[in-house]
Copies of this chain bind each other. A is one copy, B any other.
Amino acid sequence: MAELCVHLVPLFNALPTNDQMQIEELVHHQNYQKSELVMDPTSSNNLVIVAHGGARLYTLDENGRENVTQILKTGDYAGENWLFGEANINTYVEATENSEICLLNRNEFLALMKKKPELSIQLLEQNIIKVRAMHRQIQLLSLPKVEDRLLSYLQTYAKQVNKNSFTLPLKMKDLALYLGTTPETLSRKFVLLEKQGTLKRKLRHIDLF
């Protein structure tokens, strides 16, 4: 048997197992044939999790032409926004092969949240943290110079761990990605900052001045 479907959704998988079980109980596992329609704008809103198989999302434009917006394969999901507030006004979901697909119904989920307020509070807390992290990243990425982005990142991180001497939690490659640059440029910027006397570095260990 498959894992818990809710495990596949990042928003859920950090929840206490207890809460996850409660959500899992709401999930409708269903099998769909290839080309079968899973959802359309007239359906009630659902979170769609592809437990096994594949699906595609598409909209119809003003001329009635299909416009594929997303492809889902095993383990992917869509419709977080339909689960939380937004109505699905123009999107169709269709199985691209014989698939096992899990649906989590908005109304049932709302009912659960009303019955167990801790659940929505948990989700909210998690989300707020995420928003703050994303906000920081946007501010970083908005800085035109990589040098500034790096320094800002390091200072923020130093503040976070409340130390001026620390070990980077990311590899260069990932830090580069996070800062919207390349490992090469990042490397150069490190030596630049070191030359400027802003920091001292040995591998991934940083001393910030």
Q: How many residues of A are counted as interface, with CB atoms below 8 angstroms from the partner's CB atoms? A: 42
Q: A81-B128, A114-B117, A124-B127 are in contact. List 11 more A-B contacts (CB 8 A).
A: A61-B163, A62-B163, A69-B159, A81-B129, A81-B132, A84-B128, A85-B129, A86-B129, A114-B121, A123-B124, A124-B124
Does A22 touch B at the CB level, under 8 Å? Answer: no
Q: How far is the CA of A124 from the CA of B125 in the complex (A)?
A: 9
Does A173 touch B at the CB level, under 8 Å? Answer: no
Q: Check if B120 sits within 8 Å of A124, measured CB to CB.
A: yes
Does A76 touch B at the CB level, under 8 Å? Answer: no
Can you name 6 A-B residue pairings with CB atoms under 8 Å?
A: A61-B162, A81-B129, A113-B124, A114-B118, A127-B128, A134-B134
Residue of B nearest to A62 (CB): B163
Q: Identify the A interface with B (CB < 8 A).
A: 59, 61-62, 67, 69, 80-81, 84-86, 90, 110, 113-115, 117-118, 120-121, 123-132, 134-135, 137-138, 141-142, 144, 159, 162-164, 177, 180
Q: Check if A80 sits within 8 Å of B110, measured CB to CB.
A: no
Q: How far is the CA of A61 from the CA of B208 in the complex (A)?
A: 13
Residue of B nearest to A109 (CB): B121
Q: Check if A125 sits within 8 Å of B61, measured CB to CB.
A: no
With known contacts A121-B113, A123-B124, A142-B141, A90–B131 Cβ distance under 8 A: no
Residues of B within 8 A of A125 (CB): 84-85
A132 nearest CB across to chain B (Å): 6
Residue of B nearest to A85 (CB): B125
Residues of B within 8 A of A110 (CB): 121
